């Protein structure tokens, strides 16, 4: 619930309000789950809705179940989804940005914005959703990342 603060601004009632999830529509849930597993998320629950012909799949980082999740919505009837960048992006903190990016590259994922600074990288999910990876703390710049150019848009 939002409460009016000084000057008419809204403030969250910290006792009751919390971020729950971000929803993205996906065309291939298996590929999307595999992608998010590479950056440390796991499936925490799944809801199949026969009448609505869709499946909701919730993913979370360890210890974040019910706190900050990604909801994958898979409509059973084929649909085209476009505009991943106009969605904005999802952001995840990682323990080792270089190891995470290497695991993604080894799995065939393009690193659109490499972690040249040891702090930030961008990749895209199989459905084109931009995902920002942020290093927990700071790592010094290292090759091959420091001189790797951007690829595509992020």
Q: What is the pLDDT of residues 87-97, one digit of tens each?
A: 657 888 888 99
In a domain, residue 118? The reply is yes
Say which CATH number the domain at 121 has. 3.10.180.10
DSSP 145: G
CA–CA gap between residue 99 and residue 102 (Å, rounded):
5
CA–CA gap between residue 132 and residue 154 (Å, rounded):
9
pLDDT in tens, 113-142: 999 999 999 999 998 888 889 898 889 999
| Active site residues per annotation | 132
Domain total in the chain: 1
Q: Is 120:134 a contact under the CB 8 Å cutoff?
A: yes
In a domain, residue 121? The reply is yes
In a domain, residue 35? The reply is yes
pTM value?
0.67
């Amino acid at each position: 619930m939002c409460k009016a603060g000084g000057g008419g601004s809204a403030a969250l009632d910290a006792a009751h309000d919390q971020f729950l999830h971000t929803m993205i529509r996906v065309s291939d849930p298996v590929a999307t789950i595999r992608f998010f597993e590479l950056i440390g998320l796991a499936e925490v629950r799944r809801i199949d809705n026969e009448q609505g012909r869709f499946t909701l799949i919730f993913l979370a980082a360890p210890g974040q179940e019910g706190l900050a999740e990604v909801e994958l919505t898979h409509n059973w009837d084929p649909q085209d989804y476009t505009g991943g960048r106009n969605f904005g992006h999802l952001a995840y903190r990682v323990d080792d940005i270089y190891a995470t990016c290497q695991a993604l590259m080894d799995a065939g994922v393009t690193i659109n914005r490499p972690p040249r600074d040891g702090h930030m990288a961008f990749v895209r999910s199989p459905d084109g959703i931009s995902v920002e990876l942020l290093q927990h703390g700071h790592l010094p710049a290292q090759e091959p990342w420091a001189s790797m150019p951007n690829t595509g848009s992020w």
